Amino acid sequence: MPETGSWQVRWQSAQRSARAAGDAALRRWRAAPRRTRQTWRLTAVSAATGLAVAGGAVAVSGPWDAGQRTAERAAAAGSGSGSGGERHGASTDPVRSAPPVLSALGGAAPGGPGRAGAPLPTGAGLAEVLAPLLKDPALGPLRTASVRDVAAGREVFGVRADEPATPASTVKLAVAVAALSALGPDHRIATTVVDGTGKAGKSGKAGQAGEARDGGDTGDTGKHSIILVGGGDPTLTARAPKPGPAADRPANLRTLAEDTARALKQRGTTTVTLGYDASAYSGPDQHPIGPNENIAPVSALMADEARLDDSEFGTAPRDAAPAVAAARAFAGQLRERGITVDGDPAAAHAPRQAGEIATVRSLPLAALVERMLTHSDNDIAEGLARQTAIAAGKPASFAGAGTAVRDALAARHLPLTGAVFADGSGLDRDDRVSAGLLSRLLLDASSDRHPELRSVVTGLPVAGFTGTLSGRYPDKSSGAGTVRAKTGTLTGVNTLAGTVVDADGRQLVFAFMTSGTTDPQGAQKALDTLASAVAECGCR
> Which are the catalytic amino acids?
169, 172, 376
Rounded to the nearest angstrom, the gap between the alpha carbon of residue 124 and the centroid of all alpha carbons in its chain is 32
Q: Please report the sign of the dihedral spanned by the C-alpha atoms of residue 91, residue 92, residue 97, residue 101.
A: negative
Q: Could you tell me the CA-to-CA distances from 296 to 304, 323, 381, 487, 515 in Å, in that order?
A: 10, 11, 12, 21, 26
CB 334 within 8 A of CB 257: yes
3-class secondary structure for 109-166? CCCCCCCCCCCCCCHHHHHHHHHHHCCCCCCCCEEEEEEEECCCCEEEEEECCCCCEC
How many C-beta neighbours within 10 Å does residue 405 have?
Answer: 30
Q: Which residues contact 231 (CB under 8 A, 6 or more apart)?
A: 189, 190, 191, 192, 280, 300
Q: Which residues contact 235 (CB under 8 A, 6 or more apart)?
A: 250, 251, 362, 363, 368, 371, 380
CB 342 within 8 A of CB 272: yes
Between β-strands 493-501 and 154-159, what pairing exists: parallel, antiparallel or unpaired?
unpaired
Burial 190-217 (b: 16+ CB within 10 A, else e): ebbbbbbbeebbebeebbeeebbbebbe
Report how far residue 72's alpha carbon sits from residue 76's, in angstroms, rounded to the nearest whole number: 8
How many C-beta neighbours within 10 Å does residue 496 have?
Answer: 28
Nearest to 258 by CA among 165, 326, 193, 169: 193
Between β-strands 493-501 and 68-69, what pairing exists: parallel, antiparallel or unpaired?
unpaired
Q: What is the enclosing helix (H) or strand (E) of 410? A: helix 398-410
Please tell me whether residue 434 adopts helix, strand or coil conformation. Answer: coil
Report how far residue 380's alpha carbon sits from residue 189's, in angstroms, rounded to the nearest whole number: 12
Provide φ and ψ at 290, rounded to 5°.
85, 180
> Greatest CA span in the chain, whole angstroms?
108
